[in-house]
Amino acid sequence: MTLTAETPRPSVTAAAGRARRPRLLPRVAPYLQAAPLTVTLLLFLLVPILTIVAVSFWDYDSVRIYPDFVLTNYTELLASPVTWKTYLNTLKYAALTWAITLGIGFTVAYFLAFHVRSTTWQMVLFLVCTIPFWTSNIIRMISWIPFLGRNGLLNSGLISAGIIDQPLEFLLFSDFSVVLAFVHLYALFMVVPIFNSMMRIDRALIEAARDGGANAAQTLWNVILPLTKPGIAIGSIFVVTLVMGDFITVRLMSGGQSASIGLMIANEISLLQYPAAAANAVVLLAVVLIMVVAMLRIVDIRKEL
């Protein structure tokens, strides 16, 4: 290309080539531009997923896995009441965490977007929200344990304040502590997209609503909420997928007493039952995809992007 361009006397063929090339290049260029991402996705997403799907049909014993085509992994998985119970439990965590983070996320974002007037303060407060992310997930989680424990800060505080006589047992190693940790870990994933959506709302619309006689609640319900939906959808996808796949939070905060799908898979992997884990992962992937598709059906996320 460069060579032909620099040829001092363009011959007829070269001129024809030059004429043809500009037409060819625009057609190829987008593909070339997309190629690195496509290759990366193929290599690091599609191939592993296909491998997992393939392995999920293999047979195994306590030592090895055998290339085969058996359905036992799926039948064992789906026929077991434990699987259903675990899915129900995981969905319960996801639903609770989703509802609470949505409440917190919406409130915080609303405060940031509509109550804080100066952009500087908005940014400062927004950054304050990210401070917890300066330490690792696990540390933030573990720090709840001494706080909530039987002889923990909260219980001893309540006892010495005379509010309770017996330590509250449900605070730690319970569903309560699991959901609490989830909310703590993932609330920001709700705040950010909702805040982003709210910032894009034309302030004139709110003025118009007020001029039209709407009170604050009506404005919130009929103007702000519909316009924030894409942000809510994105935040929900984050929170739900994170909770569905999590295993370490559930294990640490429930004291190993509760199960989640992620934990089930982690257990299977640690016991070298890769095919069973793969089958479980495939089912989990399907469930999460269905949930995401359902969310995208409700909200047209393209508007946001």
Q: Residue 290 contacts by C-beta under 8 Å, 6 or more apart in sequence?
A: none
What residues form DSSP beta bridges with 65?
Answer: 60
Nearer to other proteins by Cβ, of 153 and 208: the residue is: 153
Nearest approach, Cβ of residue 196 and other proteins (Å)? 38
For residues 201 and 207, the answer to whether their CB atoms sit within 8 Å is no
What residues form DSSP beta bridges with 60?
Answer: 65
Q: Which residues sit at the interface with other proteins, rule CB under 8 A?
A: 61-64, 76, 80, 82, 85-86, 89, 145-146, 149-152, 169, 172-173, 251, 254-259, 264, 267, 269-273
For residues 303 and 227, the answer to whether their CB atoms sit within 8 Å is no
Nearer to other proteins by Cβ, of 249 and 258: the residue is: 258
Nearest approach, Cβ of residue 288 and other proteins (Å)? 20
Nearer to other proteins by Cβ, of 128 and 153: the residue is: 153
Nearest approach, Cβ of residue 261 and other proteins (Å)? 10
Tokens of 205: 């619309």
Nearer to other proteins by Cβ, of 188 and 283: the residue is: 283
Nearest approach, Cβ of residue 167 and other proteins (Å)? 10
> How many angstroms separate the CA atoms of 20 and 281, rounded?
50
Nearest approach, Cβ of residue 256 and other proteins (Å)? 3
For residues 179 and 93, the answer to whether their CB atoms sit within 8 Å is yes
What residues form DSSP beta bridges with 167?
Answer: none
| Start-to-end C-alpha separation, the chain | 36
Nearer to other proteins by Cβ, of 2 and 166: the residue is: 166
